[in-house]
Amino acid sequence: MERPVLLAVDDEVGALRVLADALERRFGADYRVVAVDSATAGEAELERLASRGAEVALVVAELWLAGSDGVAFLGRARAIHPDAGRALLIEMDERGTRLPIDSMERLQRATALGQIDFSLITPWVSPEEWLYPQVQEALSRWTKAHRPHHESVRLVGEQWSSRSHELRDVLARNTVPFGFYAADSDEGRRLLTEHGVDGARLPVVILYGGQVLIDPANVDLANALGVRTRPEAG
């Protein structure tokens, strides 16, 4: 099945690249990240995806686009892809301490009128704190509504193992869609056999793209999912 699309629109090429790279790093295994640098290109891409029957899970648009308005663009995106989530990207002031007054007023109006689903502030200090949680929540809502049986991660382990419960809790707290399969169940044995794992060490984590992790540490699982666990060097 073709991966659903995350579409990012920003006419500042540098900012667009940072956003697209961050989204790709965290969500690229399960979603296809598409980045375009204008509202016109964004609308054309949405039309193209609709003509192919492709699914769009989330559209992220900068508030102030050249010759356009991010809120209006998200309205057109909703008309083309009614099920897609809508996120408004808003840039902090030059000091990076607060939102400009006109941006704040536009955001409040769009929120009150239900024209957006949520907002994202840029630039962020850390995507793990400022970007990923809100995007993950939106994608989890979309997945539950449109892919009720989709699992980004499959976990095979002993039913009552404390380590299995710990990994399940980590995945749940980070709203990663996953399924748990007891190692002694038919499905659990099938998954282990299919991925060439003998089950001598459990739990086993099978990622959507086929990567297998055997009893991974929490940090190793986070890295495999694209979640940074250390701040970037300044």
Beta bridge partners of 179: 154
Would you give the distance in Å from CA 125 to the centre of its chain?
Answer: 18
pLDDT confidence band for 224 (50 / 70 / 90): confident
Task: Give the CA count within 13 Å in the CB-facing half-sphere of 86.
Answer: 22
For the stretch 42-90, pLDDT in tens is 999 999 999 999 999 999 999 999 888 999 999 999 999 999 999 999 9
Mean pLDDT of 138-156: 84
The model's pTM is 0.69
38 vs 149, more confident? 38
Q: Work out the burial of residue 94: count CB atoms within 10 Å of its CB; fewer than 13 is exposed, 13-18 middle, 19 or more buried.
A: exposed
For the stretch 95-135, pLDDT in tens is 656 788 999 999 999 999 999 999 999 988 889 888 999 99
